[in-house]
Amino acid sequence: MKKLDYLTRSQIQSIHKLKSDRNAQRVLKQMEEYLNVIKAGENIYYLNAAGRTLVNCDKVRKSTGNIQHYIMRNHIYIAYGCPDSWRNEMRIRSEGATKKDNVTCVADALFKRGDVYTIIEVDNTQTMKKNQTKIEKYRTLKQRGSFGMIAPNFIWITISDHRKSELERLSKGLNTKVFTLKDFRIGG
């Protein structure tokens, strides 16, 4: 939870290979003094003050309306094998000819396998116009060689088939896979 912020019971179960729902519930019960829980369909867990102290975590999380963003991002983390190089909220920057030509983009997450970066983007409540702007920034960063010699992969997770189609259209020419949230339902 220090790394992923918020996790559903089924995500915890999957990451730690806890097999049955009953076993996962037993483990979470043993950890309850270190966790806060949000009841939202499937229980969502995050570290409380005691839990943050135990694992030396400075990041305070609260029950907010943005939790679904984290849960969606975690589905990708699990689906791609929980990469060790996974980093959340990473700033990618490229210097331009002038200061106003500088390009900065914050990826929801990224990881690297071999020499290839994979950039994760979550489309939950973002406007499609903002997604388009972000994709154009990624095109510029790619053209400027900000990722090295090998072009990055882009993974998007979104909430509907319509939004998936739009993201695929906007991402033409980039090595992009777009999934919907329903592709990653793992319980609950």
Question: For residue 175, what are its two tokens?
Answer: 């090595």
Tell me how far apart the alpha carbons of residues 184 and 24 are, in angstroms, rounded to a whole number.
19
Decide if 5 contacts 59 (C-beta within 8 A). Answer: yes
When the pLDDT of each residue in the chain is averaged and rounded to a whole number, the result is 90
* pLDDT at 185 (0 to 100): 67
What pTM does this model have? 0.88
CB atoms within 10 A of CB 140: 14
List, for residues 100-151, the tens digit of each pLDDT value: 788 999 999 999 998 899 999 999 888 999 999 999 999 999 988 888 778 8
Range from 24-28, 40-44, 157-161, 182-186 carrying the lowest mean pLDDT: 182-186
**Domains of the chain listed by start with CATH number:** 7-64 (no CATH), 81-184 (3.40.1350.10)
Please give the average per-residue pLDDT across 5-23, as a whole number: 90
Q: How confident is the model at residue 186 (pLDDT cuts 50, 70, 90)?
A: low
Residue 187 confidence (pLDDT) above 60: no
* Strands of 124-173, DSSP E: 153-158
List, for residues 155-165, the tens digit of each pLDDT value: 999 999 999 99
Range from 38-42, 84-88, 149-153, 182-186 carrying the lowest mean pLDDT: 182-186
- List, in sequence order, every residue forming a beta bridge with 119; answer none if it has no partner: 110, 154
Ramachandran bin of 62, using left for φ above 0, alpha for ψ from -120 to 50, beta for the remaining angles: beta
